[in-house]
Structure formats: structure tokens, C-alpha cells
Structure 1
């Protein structure tokens, strides 16, 4: 098995994922997680119980990165030997604090990462008072989405950390390509409505698989006006489950 891939067990999937994050020294957003076995509690929770098992690996673009794995705030990017210039995008963005706008910095960080991945896509910027939207254009940009948007989320995480690291001004950076965020939102809203109907029909709680904070918020908002339902998050860390429950009758 590749040295960048580990099989890990835990009493639950969440516990196994937490172990993976500790083993790699990376947040959940920068790992590929494959569920090998969800495990079972067995008879009376004792006899025949099986642990949950996952297969974890570092996201492919991260294999070309070098970072201080003990401190995620000091991440740097390792390159194959390439010509260095005084205006290296990553150097300018992270090290210089010359009054340059955060939007420009964020775009330069993204271009620097794409360059080290051997990719060259145009990037458009749309900025509001508290958000910077970076949109990667061009044929083939969809390869940056990854399974379930994991690669796009990991890139977004790194850009947020690098751009907001030194300055006093902070803005949330959202990375998108091929309208993935919009398509993802529509999918999550449809999922929320479907599972909400199931919870009302069966009068039993329905559990949604672990999601990041952004996706959880979409689920919560999609069902917040339904007086017959309640939603709550469960778990720790960035990825948590959502429980959809039928509201108690008065």
C-alpha cells in the first residue's frame, strides 16, 4: 500500500477520521476518506461488534506540498525546481504586506498553487464587503472539484489561511469552478427536503452523513421554516453529522 494511504479503525466513522487527521497532521478538508466498513455494535453492543474502518490518504495536489505538519498555520508549498522571480506569487502574497487588496492577494495565492500543479486557468474575482469569490474558468477546470468537492474545499481552505494570515482585514474566500457551489446547493436542498419528508413520515430521526460547516448551513436553512421538523448538528471538528428530527407535538 502507498505510504500516503492508511487504513484506520475506530468505534465510529468520526473516531476513525479523527485518527486519520492526527496521523497525517492535516485537517479533514485535506484528506481523501473512503469508508471501508461502517462497523456494527453487535448483540447488546458487545457480542460480534465490529469497528468502523476507513482508508485515508492525502489529497493528490497535497503530495506536492511541503508544510509544517505540526502547525497548519505555517503551511508552505514545495515545488519541483522552477524558475524563481522576485514576484513569485506565493512569496508576494504571504510575505508582503504592502497595502495590496485581499482580493488580489487571494488571486495570486491561487495562481501560485495552480502553477505548482502544472495548471494554468484564468481566475475571475467578485468581491463584496465581507466575501471574495474566486471563480476558476477554462476547459478542464472541473478536475479541481474532486470527489464530493473535497479538492475544491481543500484549495479554498489553504487560500483562506494564506490570504488572511498577516493582515488586520479579513474576508471569507469562496472558490468555485463550473458552478459547482450552486449545483451543490441545489443538490443539498433537494436532499434536505427528501430526508425531511422521511422524518415526518416515519416520525423517526434521520441522520445525514458528515458535512462541512457550509454544507450543514444549507441543510439547516432549507428546513428552518418547516414547523414539523427540527435540525441539529452532532459531532466535533469541521465535519459533523446533521440529525433531522420530527418536531414534538404539543
Structure 2
């Protein structure tokens, strides 16, 4: 019997699709349990977390093990197979006050390899992070929530996003008109939401579908669309 899988993606449907591809099963052959809905509140988690289990198999028990250390081993092996000379270390990164997540820091020997791992606007880095989480999930039977950074790119990007959020909020307050930001992956949209969560003069909301999903910053009191979460 195949074990189940717990997986995170932008929508419940996308998470289920990825899980079915991984398990090699159809929707009728599995039980789906939604552990977290996406977009629960303006600063909520932007991604869905689902558990997909074959109907004939019980969900496997969680394995003991530190996600950071397992992630380090997984990522180091991936980089070795890619033929890249890189060092991986484990640390903690505060996404927000009170929420520290394990982060895998990658240091490369040259800019070419760094650029290869980061990709255009961090797209390759985000895919690498998802792959590492998926492989660690296979080993531990739980979603580890690992972050992956290459030469501090993610930290610089996070700082840039926080600065962008504050500047755009100031413009919204000054003009009284909403501003729509460029499409971003779920993690980056959450940075925007968290940065402005305690600003009483603006409200943030995600809109759009899949790769075109973006954050809109509204003046406080603006009538928000009801079709987006």
C-alpha cells in the first residue's frame, strides 16, 4: 500500500493535483483532508495544506527527525547531483515576530551557480524550495515548512518587499486610491500582508488566479471586492 502525502500549494485543487501525480492515483482512489485553507484573513497563510491518503491505506505516522537536518541532507544531495560546488547550513529565520522557521542557507563558489539556483526573480529558488519540502515530507510524513536561501537572496528580497509595501501604503494613504502590486508567489504576498497588517490606514487583499495572483492595497474603509479571499 502506498503511504499518504501532506503537501502545500497555492490552492487546494493544486495541492491535490500535485499529490495525485506523486502517488500515481486518481481522485476517486484517495481521501482528501484539507488541513489549512488558503488566504484565511488578510495576513493568513496564502497557501493550502492538504493531506491525501489512498483509500485502502491509513495515513502513515510521522517519523522522528529534525526537518532542518533532513532538509540539509536532501538539499546537499540535490546540489551534488546537479554538479554544483556549494555549502549548505541550517539556521532559523523570523518571517514575523514570534514565527521562526528553519532555513537552509546555500553558499556557492561563483556567481554563475548562484544565478542558476536563484533564477529569474527567484523563480528557480522557489521551485527548489518546494522540491526540498516535498522530499523531506516523503521522509518525515509531515510538511516541514523549510525555507531555502542562496547567498542571502531571499533575505534581501524580503527586505525589499517590506520596503515596497510601506512605500505603496504611503502612496495609497496620500492619494486615497488603491494600488495593485505585481504578481507574486504566495510567500512574497504574505510578506506584504504581514508588513501592513498593523497599519490602520490601509487594508490588503489578494486577487487573481494562480501565477497571476497579486496583492491590492486599499485605503481603510474602501469597499472591498467579495470575489477574492
Task: State TM-score, norm by structure 1.
Answer: 0.56
Is 1:112 matched up with 2:77? yes
Partner of residue 161, structure 1: 134
**Number of aligned residue pairs:** 163
Q: How does 1:1-250 map to 2 (within 5 A)?
A: 71-73=20-22, 101-126=66-91, 131-140=101-110, 141-143=113-115, 144-237=117-210, 240-248=213-221
SS in 2 for 1:209: coil
SS in 2 for 1:149: helix
CA–CA distance in 2 between the matches of 1:117 and 1:171?
23
SS in 2 for 1:137: strand
Kept in 2, the 8 Å contact 1:223–1:229? The answer is yes
Kept in 1, the 8 Å contact 2:102–2:147? The answer is yes
CA–CA distance in 2 between the matches of 1:220 and 1:122?
32
Kept in 1, the 8 Å contact 2:134–2:143? The answer is no
SS in 2 for 1:118: coil
CA–CA distance in 2 between the matches of 1:203 and 1:164?
45
Q: 1:101 to 1:198 in 2, by over 3 A?
A: closer
Partner of residue 59, structure 2: none
RMSD of aligned C-alpha atoms? 3.1
Task: State TM-score, norm by structure 2.
Answer: 0.61
Structure with the greater relative contact order (CA < 8 A, sep ≥ 6): 1 or 2? 2
Kept in 1, the 8 Å contact 2:63–2:139? The answer is no
**What are the ranges of 5 or more consecutive residues in structure 1 without an aligned counterpart?**
1-26, 29-68, 76-96
Kept in 2, the 8 Å contact 1:199–1:245? The answer is yes
Kept in 2, the 8 Å contact 1:130–1:171? The answer is no
**What are the ranges of 5 or more consecutive residues in structure 2 without an aligned counterpart?**
1-8, 11-17, 25-61, 94-98, 223-229
SS in 1 for 2:146: strand
CA–CA distance in 2 between the matches of 1:196 and 1:120?
42
